[in-house]
Amino acid sequence: MAIPGRFPASFTATVGKRPAPVQPPSNMPAAYDQLVAKLKRAHTLGTVADLLGWDEQVNLPADSADVRAGQHAVMAETQHAAATDPEIGRLLAEMETPSGALSADELVTARHARRDYDRATKLPADFVTEKAAHSSRAYHAWADAKARDDFAAYAPFLEKHLVLAHREAELLGWGARPYDYAIDRHDPGMTAAQITALFAELKRGLLPLVSAIRASAVAAQPQLFRGFPVESQRAFLREVTERLGFNYRRGRIDVSLHPFCSGTGADIRMTTRFDADNPLDSLFSSIHETGHGLYEQGLPLTQLGTALGQAVGMAIHESQSRLWENQVARGRAFWKFFEPRFRALFPAQLAAISSDALYLAVNAVEPTLIRVDADEVHYNLHILLRFELEQKLFSGALAVRDLPAAWNALCGEMLGQTPASNREGVLQDVHWSSGGFGYFPSYCLGNMVAAQLWATVRRTLPGLEEDFARGDFGRLLGWLRENIHTQGRRHDTLTLVRRVTGEELSPQPLLAYLRERYGGLYLK
Amino acid sequence: MAIPGRFPASFTATVGKRPAPVQPPSNMPAAYDQLVAKLKRAHTLGTVADLLGWDEQVNLPADSADVRAGQHAVMAETQHAAATDPEIGRLLAEMETPSGALSADELVTARHARRDYDRATKLPADFVTEKAAHSSRAYHAWADAKARDDFAAYAPFLEKHLVLAHREAELLGWGARPYDYAIDRHDPGMTAAQITALFAELKRGLLPLVSAIRASAVAAQPQLFRGFPVESQRAFLREVTERLGFNYRRGRIDVSLHPFCSGTGADIRMTTRFDADNPLDSLFSSIHETGHGLYEQGLPLTQLGTALGQAVGMAIHESQSRLWENQVARGRAFWKFFEPRFRALFPAQLAAISSDALYLAVNAVEPTLIRVDADEVHYNLHILLRFELEQKLFSGALAVRDLPAAWNALCGEMLGQTPASNREGVLQDVHWSSGGFGYFPSYCLGNMVAAQLWATVRRTLPGLEEDFARGDFGRLLGWLRENIHTQGRRHDTLTLVRRVTGEELSPQPLLAYLRERYGGLYLK
């Protein structure tokens, strides 16, 4: 799919192969540099807003939410003014001429700048205001409905969000494919048709594996993990994440209710949470955020604010967090190195837990109704369910009032369990309350990309896991830096996967990986 | 002295006594509300910039200073645009008519808004840029010169700052009194002539007291304080500052290299630092910052961004921090309540330290060449010295190249010691390196105001120290809230002192307080 925008076809078609003109118009570099300065200015304002968001989750005093809301509002207005600066439009128009002499990299920046500028300027101010106001109301309605387990109270807000999503797609020229627009916002270039095919193939392979594991007598024993002091947990995860390659001279990790990663590679702010009786949760959520952080730290610093210094999309971002969290840190080689260090920090707590029991706990598989609690095997089913329902909501095949019944039926079919309440069902996720449709698929696509990259890098770099067993993760990070991180947005999701792995994106590497790791543990 | 600005004389002369016009022009309230919205917007952007500054001191990763500098630059530009919004000028002009129907409070807002707007708009952009760039260069030159003890390398930067200060005063219509302008920036309405008279009187009374204490055989023994665990220090200062009245639901305290207090009453960010062998440093710096924080928390929240929600100036601000730090927390009543709690937290560390020795350590007097290490008695002499030199630099009576010799001579005269190096002398303070002339006097004025308020409140509220001995500081805080905090900028420094204490600002209450407290300890 072509990136929407006003570039002449020749601009995108000739990327990377056009010869330099003999006489480049002398105003071109100046215009490009001016554009970059404008983009960087808007980006910098965005990083300030991000820091407000980080501080809100990590530091904000209990009663200071009002002042933070006011700060967010003024910064949003300021950011919007910077992103819609008419000078950006003028500079883009100046560059979008057949005589333009931009390099391939410069074209990447200009093409994405055009798309972002159009999206920022084509939406009427009253639409933006209406959507922001509705999102705020809908968020509170969702939180309240979830607390009271009252879907009917939330339904009108969700209905209105669907109307707004259709209207937004219409305004931006995506009226015929509103759900594709929702997907494109998170993974530029991806479509629902592509995802449908990938997910169907994944589902066919996944359900038999899930059934087999469920029938297994093997089970992890998380209840054995008790009384791990937070300070020692903190020391351990710091050592782990530093050894994976996170640069703490350009980032930090703090505590928040829900783990997240924000900031840019110039200053990454990760968070985690601690539970003395669940040390693996804190460890793996930290490694997950470290994967996001390593991606951001690997983007070219000098290009921050342009598409060359920006992550491809959510699927590739999620592939980085999942690869470090799952393929690497749930693997035997990782634990060969780190288990002695873990036991040295917690000798008494781990005394009764064998190496096999520890490794099984790291790879526990247990069905749950809650997506964020799901293990690697079940997680994808939670996403397939949401993707199917989102499509039906967008096509009108499913009315919002019928959503809980449809959710519960699909749960029974896919997870073998039915929620006893909407709180554990359709009301569990925050995403839709802010109109965040089209985001869920990225999680599962990320799992696929991670497994495909993992299969490629193991082929490409023999002995990689022997490195891990010695505590050396440098070759893996170097490979990701070269092939993914430093690429910025030069390639869209599917192109990048094809270039790096030599194959089209496919669920087969994920299925093979899951069968190998979990088959080995549960289906002996 | 009149506040500079374009208000007709009748506006300021009739504050608080003008009868309401029979027919107020209907556009007035609308214009005032619009002005307030503009002022609040600029203020909010300022609070975002403040948070960047706080985060820089508390959280910033080691190598992320570059990204923070970029964020500061964009926010400064954004703030300046908000503060010079031509709409503010139009609204002020609309209100500045003889038919204006503003209330007394509204006039306070409008008068200060006019002064701030003029100062923000009358300085040419190239002057502002030149000063900012020079301040940055001069800061690094100062830090480098201090490290190498090389005043000559720093002298040209200081000379240029003096030229810029004169030029700035000229541009703003203060050309005849450039040093008064420097003072007015920190304490609106105060003049060098007023301060000269106050400081001369203070010096006459202070020098005999200093001589007498220096001749005393009594001496505190700070070396007895060893091995106070940081976590327990943190718990103690949290209990103390909470009991003094700091609202931790609208503020927090963290660790930074140099203690400070930033933010607004809606979200106060204080910092301290810990040294296991100097628990009193951390405690008293925290109480000092708490005094600043209590002032900000006492300003009317709904008026934040207008002069009604703004501190009077640095002298009054410093009076609040000093009153809590010195008059209250170095007093016997405070320790009557807190000593048992302090000993309960540190039983072993305090075992060999008697109550008298503890109280003497709290009130240690020891001459030092370094201002920030100075005790309450000597501190004022450090300020008198700087005030005298600043005046001579501004009048041209003293050349920058002769400054070290003049500094050392005054040190010998006032402190009885001469610095062995400029690092311990004229290069010790950061203020001048950013052009911060006229700031030092506020510290000493703050000490005077604190003592004068203290004398007044002890007369007004009998039994106040008995409250303290029971751990109750509510009546003092309530009195400060009513008389100082909630007043915002309704009155300038001298007027506020006169209204609250019934007397003109004078150094006599400070001298009486110092004689009572330190005479009692050292001159028995």
Residues B154, B146: Cα–Cα separation, whole Å: 9
Say which of A51, A62, A68 has its CB closest to residue B55: A51
Binary contact (B267, A44; C-beta < 8 A): no
Q: Looking at the complex, report in whole angstroms how far the Cα of residue B244 sits from the nearest Cα belonging to chain A.
A: 18
Nearest to B267 among A61, A249, A250 (CB): A61
Q: Do A61 and B252 lie within an 8 Å CB cutoff?
A: yes
Q: Pairing relation of β-strands A267-272 and A261-264?
A: antiparallel
pLDDT surpassing 80 at residue A99: no
How is residue A421 written in tokens? 């309440």
Q: Is B80 exposed, middle or buried (0-12, 13-18, 19+ CB in 10 A)?
A: middle
The full DSSP string for A359-417 is HHHHT-----S-GGG--HHHHHHHHHHHHHHHHHHHHTSS-GGGHHHHHHHHHHHHHS-
CA B301 to chain centre: 20
Rg value, chain B, Cα? 24
Closest CA to B96 of B117, B75, B81, B111: B111
Instruction: State the amino acid at position A248 in one-letter form.
Output: Y
Phi first, then psi: give them for residue B354, nearest 5 degrees: -70, 165
* Closest approach of A317 to chain B, Cα-based (Å): 22
The answer to whether A63 contacts B252, with C-beta atoms less than 8 Å apart, is no
What confidence tens digit (pLDDT) does each residue in A335-378 have?
999 999 999 999 999 999 999 999 999 999 999 999 999 999 99
Whether residue A47 and residue B61 make contact (CB cut-off 8 A), yes or no, is no
For B121, list phi and psi in degrees, rounded to 5.
-100, -25
Do the Cβ atoms of A250 and B59 come within 8 Å? Answer: no
Task: Please give the Cα distance from A193 to A494 (Å, whole number).
Answer: 13
- SS3 per-residue string spanning A33-79: HHHHHHHHHHHHHHHHHHHHHHHHHHCCCCCCHHHHHHHHHHHHHHH
Strands of A103-255, DSSP E: 251-255
Q: What is the pLDDT of residues B264-313, one digit of tens each?
A: 999 999 999 999 999 999 999 999 999 999 999 999 999 999 999 999 99
Please enumerate residues of B whose Cβ is less than 8 A from a Cβ of A: 41, 44-45, 47-48, 51-52, 55, 59-64, 66-68, 70-71, 74-75, 78, 247-252, 264, 266-267
How far is the C-alpha of B321 from the C-alpha of B290, rounded, in Å? 7
Instruction: Provide φ and ψ at A361, rounded to 5°.
Output: -65, -40
Smallest Cα–Cα separation from A320: which of A457, A431, A520, A466? A457
Substitution target from A54, A78, A302 for chain B, most B beta carbons within 10 A:
A78
Q: How far apart are CA B84 and CA B92, in angstroms?
A: 12
Select the more confidently predicted residue: B352 or B26.
B352
Q: Choose, out of B36, B45, B64, the residue to mutate when testing the contact with A (most A CBs < 10 Å).
A: B64
Residues of chain B found within 8 Å of residue A264, distances taken between Cβ atoms: 67
pLDDT at site B346: 98
Which residue in B87, B106, B170, B289 is the catalytic one? B289
Compare A7 and A50 and report the one with higher pLDDT. A50
What does the alpha-carbon distance between residue A84 and residue A122 come to, in Å, rounded to a whole number? 10
Per the CB < 8 A criterion, the answer to whether B426 and B370 are in contact is no
The shortest C-alpha distance from A41 to chain B (Å) reads: 7
Which residues, at least 6 apart from B391, have a Cβ–Cβ distance to it below 8 Å? B179, B192, B196, B397
Q: Is A99 exposed, middle or buried (0-12, 13-18, 19+ CB in 10 A)?
A: exposed
User: What stretch of H or E contains A268?
Assistant: strand A267-272
Q: Which two tokens stand for residue B300?
A: 């009317």
Q: pLDDT band at residue B22, thresholds of 50, 70 and 90?
A: very low
Of B48, B52, B61, nearest to A248 by CB-CB distance is B61
Report, in angstroms and rounded to the nearest whole number, the Rg of chain A calculated over CA atoms.
Answer: 24
Element (H, E) at B403: helix B403-415
Nearest-neighbour CA in chain A from B478: distance (Å): 21
Picking from A414, A437, A480, the residue whose alpha carbon sits closest to that of residue A202 is A414
pLDDT tier at A15 (50, 70, 90 boundaries)? very low
List chain A domain ranges. Answer: 9-122, 151-229+306-524
Residues B334-389 have pLDDT tens digits of 999 999 999 999 999 999 999 999 999 999 999 999 999 999 999 999 999 999 99
What pLDDT band is residue B132 in, cutting at 50, 70 and 90? confident
Q: Which of B76, B52, B64, B42 is nearest to A50 (CA)?
A: B52
Question: Is B289 designated active site?
Answer: yes
3-class DSSP state of B161: helix
- Residue with the bigger pLDDT between A71 and A100: it is A71
pLDDT in tens, B241-259: 999 999 999 999 999 988 9
Tokens of A328: 């690497």
The verdict on a CB contact (< 8 Å) between B71 and A251 is: no
Mean pLDDT computed over A97-104: 80
| Averaged pLDDT for residues B155-160 | 98
CA distances from B197 to A92, A228, A354, A447 (A): 64, 65, 80, 76
Q: How far apart are CA A308 and CA A428, in angstroms?
A: 36
pLDDT of residue B524: 78
Give residue A1's pLDDT.
Answer: 28
The ipTM estimated for the assembled molecules is 0.89
Q: Which residue of chain B is at minimal alpha-carbon distance from A59?
A: B252
**A399-420 residue pLDDT tens:** 999 999 999 999 999 999 999 9
Q: Which residue of B has its CA nearest to A302?
A: B67
B206, amino acid identity = L
Q: For residue A76, give the chain B residue with the closest CA.
A: B45
Instruction: State the nearest Cα–Cα gap between A439 and chain B, in angstroms.
Output: 29
Measured between beta carbons, the chain A residues lying within 8 angstroms of B264 are: 67
Q: What are the residues of chain A with a beta carbon less than 8 Å away from any beta carbon of chain B?
A: 41, 44-45, 47-48, 51-52, 55, 59-64, 66-68, 70-71, 74-75, 78, 247-252, 264, 266-267
For residue B29, what pLDDT band results from cuts at 50, 70 and 90? low
| Partner-chain contact B48 A74, CB within 8 Å | yes
Q: Give the CA count within 13 Å in the CB-facing half-sphere of A79.
A: 18
In Å, how far are A508, B269, B419, B443, B482 from B316, measured between CA atoms?
71, 19, 31, 9, 14
Give the residue among A142, A144, A168 at the shortest CA–CA distance from A156: A142
The pLDDT assigned to A481 comes to 98
* Catalytic residue (one of A289, A376, A388, A390): A289
Structure confidence at residue B27 as a pLDDT band (50, 70, 90): low
- B68 min Cα distance to partner chain A (Å): 9
Cα atoms found within 13 Å of the Cα of residue A428, Cβ hemisphere only: 20
Check pLDDT > 60 for residue A474. yes
Contacts of B251 in chain A (CB under 8 A): 61, 64
- CB-CB neighbors (< 8 A) of B61 in chain A: 248-252, 267
- Which chain B residues touch A68 with a CB distance below 8 Å? 267
pLDDT tier for residue B99 given thresholds of 50, 70 and 90: low
Choose which CATH entry (1.10.1370.30, 1.10.10.10, 2.60.120.590, 2.102.10.10) describes domain A151-229+306-524.
Answer: 1.10.1370.30
- The span from the CA of A56 to the CA of A62, in Å, is 10
Is the confidence at residue A4, as pLDDT, over 50?
Answer: no
CA distance A334 to A287: 12
Instruction: Please give the model's pTM, rounded to 2 decimal places.
Output: 0.90
Average pLDDT, chain A: 93
Calpha distance A193→A277 (Å, rounded): 43
Report the distance separating Cα A212 and Cα A54, nearest Å.
42
Kindly identify which residue of chain A lies nearest to residue B82, measuring between CA atoms. A78
DSSP, collapsed to helix, strand or coil, labels residue B351 as coil
